Structure 1
Amino acid sequence: MIFSIPHDAHALPLSHACVTLLTDYLNQAVQDQNPDRSITAATFNFRDPDYAPDKGGYHPVEIRVKVQGETGTLEYITDFSYVGTGQDCELDKEVDFDFTTGCCFVRYVGRYALEDMHNFYRIWEGNFMNYIDMRVFHLDVTLETE
């Protein structure tokens, strides 16, 4: 079964390149993991193995896609970063594009409707796609089944 994620079915201007990338990763994960039941969701975890609170790096990104039949729709894209210092340092949401509620959260700035975040999203996605091209991330894909 081949899955697709329509790029024009979301409140933000997802690029064709980003949607193609996620679709390819989803189909590859299904092929590699060969689940024996219907897939209901996929979670993509992009991690820079060198990212650390004391030396920085590329923020981890988590993307969740809900799957119905052969079609996927984005539920959220979350960009994490470290907050705090020393032993109190932990990963927390920096940016959260939540397609299920139609809201975007940006730490230290607040919440906005996704419709008001088109320019911000384009910049964020452009950076993310550049990091993909630079191969800074390790990717784990978790498939959920019925």
Structure 2
Amino acid sequence: MKLNFNKQQCFAVPTKLYSLLNHELAQVEKQELNAYALTFNFRDPSYSAERGGYHPVEMRLEKHNDQWEFVYITDFSYQGSPYPELAKDIDVCFESKRAYSLYSGWSTDRYAKKLIKLFLTNFIAYHDMDVYNARIGFEH
């Protein structure tokens, strides 16, 4: 199964991200071809609140008219003490056309586009460094 993306969504994503997701999907032995939604989870197995590491990232895609569209891309980080929990650090919501940053809140302007570009460029670089274990969830 190869994902055919709708590249006309509200936020531009690097072309390399499309290739990366198709590559990860190709690694799955048992693909569920009739899925209408996919959730990609990228985890650094050594990431912890104490030691740090690469933040977990989750991406949800849904199929519309034979094209896959991003619903959200979320970066999580440990927050709080004395018992840290994973919280949204960066959240790109394609449906509401907004981006969230833990330290600046929601944004829809030029700042959102710059944040998304930096976030995704870094994510792709970390993926290329092979720091993540990837899992894909299929929904019918």
TM-score by length of 1: 0.87
Identify the residue that residue 111 of structure 1 maps to in structure 2.
106
2:119 is aligned with 1:124:
yes
Structure 1: gaps spanning 5 or more residues: none
Output the aligned Cα RMSD.
1.8
Q: Which runs of 5+ in 2 are unaligned?
A: none
Other-structure match for 1:17: 16
Q: Percent identity?
A: 31
| Aligned-partner SS, 1:19 | helix
| Aligned residue number for residue 33 of structure 1 | 30
Q: What is the deviation of 1:126? A: 1.0
Q: Is the contact between residue 83 and residue 92 of structure 1 (CA under 8 Å) also seen in structure 2?
A: yes
Cα offset, 1:115, TM superposition? 5.8
Mark the CA change 1:68 to 1:38 in structure 2 (over 3 Å): closer, same or farther: farther
Query: Residue 92 of structure 2 contacts residue 100 of structure 2 at CA under 8 Å; is this kept in 1?
Result: yes
Aligned length, in residue pairs: 140
Distance 1:45 1:66 in 2: 15
- The aligned residue for residue 71 of structure 1 is 67
Residues in 2 aligned to 1:70 and 1:101: alpha-carbon distance in whole angstroms: 22
Q: Select the structure that is richer in helix.
A: 1
Mapping 1:72-87, distance limit 5 Å? 72-86=68-82
Equivalent AA in structure 2 for residue 13 of structure 1:
A
Change (3 A) 1:26 1:67: farther
**8 Å CA contact retained: 2:11, 2:97:** no
Aligned to 1:62: 58
Quick one: structure 1 residues 27 and 137, their matched pair in 2 at CA, closer, same or farther if it must change by over 3 Å?
same
